[in-house]
Amino acid sequence: MYRNFIYKKQHTVHTKKPKVIISFAILMLLGLFSAIFLQFCSTPTETDYEKYEVQGDVRIITFFNTDGQQNAEVAFSREGKLVYDKQGQVLLEYEYNNKHQLTTMRVFYNQDQLETVRTYVYERNRNTEIKHFTANGTYDGVIKYSYDTRGNLLQGEYKSPYNELRYVWKYEYNNNNHKIREIHESFLTNYYRRKEFEVDKYGNVVSMEEFDEYENLIRTRFFEVFHGIALQTKFYEYWSGEISDSTLFSYEFDVRGNWVRRETTPSTGRHTHQTRRILYY
């Protein structure tokens, strides 16, 4: 059973070089997860810095793989907003209004071939619509958001160019505005999932339970968070009755608290690492 797994963490502070190394065991599930509309189905309260696990006046992050080859790069404005995001052959460019609100995102392939355009609509400083267009300007659907009186996202829905409802996701919160429930439903594939979250007083997720369309508990995931990074996650599959695999991650942080090297040692397979070169304003 997962509760009997031993978790070991090493915290070492080096006095000669200003860095902190943290090693931890992360137990991972091998399985299939639905990734439909993943980039739109999360609460829009996460900042661009949080998405990339950085803090403090970051200008550019360049990513390198185990072989030392650059495979990604992102850039931020002084306000901490994404300017561009290069991932392999895909380039995302972002534009903002004078309130630093995202207004347009353009998606390019091979960094110069325009694929899609997304425009963002706001009401009372809240993003209420994301309209999708093809490269030639043809309307290609819309995502609409609704909020409660406290500004929390309550529901998102995706509609096709023909105004057909394709996908819905909903959220519920506790009295501290921390998300405690999430529901996803697709009308194209009959997909349904409900997730229940246990959070600490800061809103960090401690555990998550996932239920299927028959309200059967299918998996539980446990989290331990340090410095905005998941130090440990454990997956428990109820149909298999065990945790399927384990991987050891080690992080190295710079003096500003941002990780610059991550080593991955799976229980089986190749040892890999990723490094980040971070430039600041």
Q: Please tell me which residue, 68 or 250, carries the higher pLDDT value.
A: 68
Across-strand partners of 225? 230
pLDDT tens, residue by residue, 103-133: 999 999 987 899 999 999 999 999 999 999 9
- Entry pTM: 0.76
pLDDT given for residue 232 in this prediction: 55
- Are 26 and 230 in contact by the 8 Å Cβ rule? The answer is yes
Tokens of 246: 């384990």
Closest CA to 248 of 1, 10, 44: 10
- Are 3 and 222 in contact by the 8 Å Cβ rule? The answer is no
- Are 231 and 22 in contact by the 8 Å Cβ rule? The answer is yes
% of residues, the chain, pLDDT over 70: 74
User: Looking at the chain, how many residues does it have?
Assistant: 281
pLDDT given for residue 27 in this prediction: 31
Closest CA to 118 of 91, 143, 90, 88: 143
pLDDT given for residue 128 in this prediction: 97
pLDDT tens, residue by residue, 143-162: 999 999 999 999 999 999 99
Q: Is 99 helix (H, G, I), strand (E, B) or coil?
A: coil
Contacts 24+ apart (CB under 8 A), 139-143: 140/116, 141/166, 143/37, 143/40
From residue 159, give the alpha-carbon distance in Å to each of 139, 188, 225, 243.
11, 11, 36, 37
Across-strand partners of 105? 94, 118
What's the rounded mean pLDDT across residues 167-185?
96
What's the rounded mean pLDDT across residues 189-200?
94
Closest CA to 210 of 199, 190, 196: 196
Helices (runs of H) and strands (runs of E) counted in the chain = 1, 20
For residue 37, pLDDT over 60 is answered with no
What Rg do the C-alpha atoms of the chain give, in angstroms? 20
